[in-house]
Structure 1
């Protein structure tokens, strides 16, 4: 094989020099504080078995979709699952994508047009930022969860200004993946109404965790009528794979015609759709969400009673982050925790800004009180 081009090798060497090189690991650490499997659904035998029964009950014995949905891959399960999703989430329509990344890329690369403006939270996920970079609209970030800063930008770029835009899209997440915090969604919705802006919310880390049935934060607050599009993903609390955009019928039709990550990819296989269906059925009846909320409260209470509180970011979600500046230091502490049996991952720069390196604790319904107490006691010792 030919050597890696010099420019690429220099980038790898730079990462190594900054102790920021990403690597794949297969070693399993016994106690999970790192996965997004908040409810334990990925390991559920009942969901696995129900998926199989669902497929055989519909006389489906296919391993793959065979093509894109616009060609040969649009089997009848898509109609069934999308109807279920729109009903569950109180949405006019739903459109399934192969992943949350595909959904965000597909939406942001095709919906905002030249002459439009996108204002997005500075901590928005990479998939949102990548999609925005592919469209022709102007885009500016606003300070994380700072609605005053956002309104100043909206006022500056509103129709009353000489440099007005055709449409304004406001983009945020209901739970941010790196901080675990949330914006004031009700106030944000009101702000968008005042300025006639289109609100787009990624609910990846809220689905399954918040709401009476795990429907997410937007719906639990009754804000779904004021949101232009919601992105929900299934690789986290629902423990499977895929994503959907919840929207109007008109937007669904537009995405089918213009979203390239939808048009030019092989559709999800039937088994993925059956697992989504089974996971939603489990979501309605599970007691795991209550157990998860109890664990979140226990974790917060324990942090508040120790000297760790000042270095933790305030969060009511399943994600809790402890700021430990420096790639070398945070990796060292993570290694100590892992060697003690607790799978806590370090988040390094440049994934987060330099000086904001952190340990990221993901809480689950299956974490025990003993595990939570022990990992925080160890962290107190190491920090």
Structure 2
């Protein structure tokens, strides 16, 4: 056995350990399944055309080298206007936006306080920073205030408006008041709210008219917009600071030109999307699961719903049973979620039907029978 084979043996042992613990991840081709898993809440991935304009296939470099264009900057102005912000800066992915922002926004001696259920990308960004870091209990205002009282330097508070694993909403208005009281800057990840909430799909910050009290927002294009990339909105000063300090922006090849056209098209479609149809399906699902007595569902009025199974193996088994019925919903395992809260994560979309929801709910009922 050569060195390569020997190391592969070590890696396989690690994979076997994960499998024995019910933690082994596998790729799934979902194209033939009824989709209760993707973040394509409005079905935009099927609506936005592959633009046929004679544009280059690539950006040829980072935005700071050859990748910038009038098209990119025009797109950012459209986005900033849509979200009632002064400026916007596009990143290649939500992960890159969060890592770039949080890794450079604070300095040594400052403090970043984040909800314990915040996105992993924000956690990774904070870890790259020299600031002090505290976590507060999920959506717990009392615990947040305790952390604010001991924070030093410039204080930043990081939350999601809609949390990705349970679909529950942050108490944004109350958090804004606490931030005002302690002179903290609030940063809101709107990944799962854009397109879904607000008169035009602007997200919850705009829905509650809080944009003047939130320092920065992150909007990703890979959820309701059905595309790729992300944007940070805020002041012109913040935009210029990120251009000069966010390494995931500085050293990344820019998005290809046609992607900016698709982003513009998505923002044109957002005000026209039938959000009421989505809300109706959410209500239909919530009513349907009330009859299931032995499974707890998260308290969510968003497209993200979750059935708490409480065991990795049982959650995976439920996913497999659903797949056998041509239904795809994803098991979320610990440590992605806390031990004992392993779950089936269900995403509802405008293209799902009530009949499909009935089939899904009936299968979940069987595990509690």
* TM-score, structure 2 normalization: 0.96
Give how far 1:19 is off.
Answer: 1.5
Tell me what 2:49 maps to.
48
1:84-118 deviation digits (Å, cap 9, x = unpaired): 01111100000000000000000011111101001
- Indicate yes or no: 2:363 matched with 1:378: yes
Distance 1:328 1:285 in 2: 42
Distance 2:307 2:288 in 1: 14
1:1-383 correspondence runs (5 A): 2-3=4-5, 4=7, 8-26=11-29, 28-44=31-47, 47-48=48-49, 51-52=51-52, 56=53, 60-157=54-151, 165-287=152-274, 289-307=275-293, 311-383=296-368
1:113-148 deviation digits (Å, cap 9, x = unpaired): 101001100001110001111110010111001011
Report the aligned-residue RMSD: 1.5
Structure 2 regions of 5+ residues with no counterpart? none
8 Å contact kept, 1:29–1:342: no
Structure 1 regions of 5+ residues with no counterpart? 158-164
Distance 2:273 2:145 in 1: 40
Distance 1:27 1:244 in 2: 28
Distance 2:280 2:29 in 1: 30
Give how far 1:355 is off.
Answer: 1.2
Distance 2:263 2:91 in 1: 12
Give how far 1:29 is off.
Answer: 4.2
Distance 2:13 2:87 in 1: 47
* TM-score, structure 1 normalization: 0.92
Give how far 1:9 is off.
Answer: 4.7
| Corresponding pairs, count | 365
8 Å contact kept, 1:15–1:21: yes
Distance 2:358 2:16 in 1: 39
Distance 2:366 2:287 in 1: 18
1:174-219 deviation digits (Å, cap 9, x = unpaired): 0010011011100001110010001011000000000110000010
8 Å contact kept, 2:55–2:258: no
Q: Secondary structure at the match of 1:236?
A: coil
Give how far 1:152 is off.
Answer: 1.2
Give how far 1:5 is off.
Answer: 6.6
Give how far 1:356 is off.
Answer: 1.1
